Amino acid sequence: MASRTYPGRCLVSKNDTTKRKAKTEIIKALKADRAEEKKPQSWLVLFTGEGMPEYWIYLLVDRKATLKDIDKKLRAVWLECCGHLSSFKIAGRDYESFPEGAFLDVVESMETGVDGIFCDGLTGEHIYDYGSTTYLDFKVISKLPYRTKKGYDVEIVARNKMPEALCSVCGKEATIICLECLYEGSDSYLFCDECYEEHECDEGMQLPVVNSPRCGVCAYEGGLDDDMC
C-alpha cells in the first residue's frame, strides 16, 4: 500500500513540498539562501501531532537555544490558549516549564540547552496542557551548517498545509467546530459559516477550524501564520 502524502510548504524557498520530501527541500533552500558555516550551527527537528501525521512542522533550532525556546515557538504556532503547563520527555527524563516538588531528581528545567541533549536520530515527546492534553512527537533529523534567520533562536522552515475539513451539511470548506456536537460524539460537528447560522446549538460552543493538532481543544483559536514564523 502506498504511503499517505501530507502536503506542506517550505518557508525558506516558498515552494510546495510534502512531509516526506521536506527535508531535501529545506536543505536545498538553506544552501541557496544562506552562507554555509565551517561548523554546524543549528539542528533540524521534525514535530508531528501524535496520532495526527497530517500535522507536521520542521524547526531549525540554533545550537545555543534551549528547550524553552522550542516550547515558546510551539506554543506560538500550534498550542497556546490558556497558559497551560508543558514538558518534554527525552531519553527517560522530563524537562518541565516550571519544575518543582519532590521529584526534582528526575525532572529538569526547559532552560537546558539543546546542544547538550540533541543528537542525530534522537526522538522524544512534547506535552502541552495536563488536562486537555496535546501530544507532539519529535525527531532530531540532523545538525546543519546554516544559521537560523536573524533574530530567531528557533525558526519554522516548513510546515503542513491546512488538512481538508468539510462542512457536515453542504460539503464546502468548514470554518467552525461545534463543540457541543463534538463532545456529544456526533460525526457532524464541522460547519461552514452559512450552515452554522442555521445550526441550533449554543453559539457560545464554537471554535474556528485551524491548522493545528490542538484544533477543537480547550479554547484554542489558532497561532502564527506562515509570514509570521
Q: Are strands 190-191 and 176-178 parallel, antiparallel or unpaired?
A: antiparallel
Q: How far is the C-alpha of 156 from the C-alpha of 158, rounded, in Å?
A: 6
The count of other CB atoms within 10 Å of the CB of residue 47 is: 24
Task: Give the type of residue at 154.
Answer: V
pLDDT recorded at residue 5: 86
* Residue 48 Cα distances to 6, 184, 199, 215, 224, angstroms: 11, 27, 33, 14, 17
What the block records as the C-alpha cell of 26 is: 529545506
200-204's contacts with Cβ under 8 Å and 24+ in sequence apart are none
pLDDT recorded at residue 102: 42
Q: How far is the C-alpha of 82 from the C-alpha of 92, rounded, in Å?
A: 28
pLDDT recorded at residue 101: 53
All structural domains of the chain: 7-160 (3.10.290.30), 176-228 (no CATH)
pLDDT-derived band at 211 (thresholds 50, 70, 90) equals very high
Residues 6+ apart with CB under 8 A from 168: 174, 187, 188, 189, 190, 191, 195
Residue 1 pLDDT > 60 = no
Per-residue model confidence as pLDDT tens digits over 12-39: 999 999 999 999 999 999 999 999 999 9
pLDDT recorded at residue 104: 54
pLDDT-derived band at 107 (thresholds 50, 70, 90) equals confident
Per-residue model confidence as pLDDT tens digits over 45-89: 999 999 999 999 999 999 999 999 999 999 999 999 999 999 999
- If you ran DSSP here, which 8-state letter would residue 70 be given? H
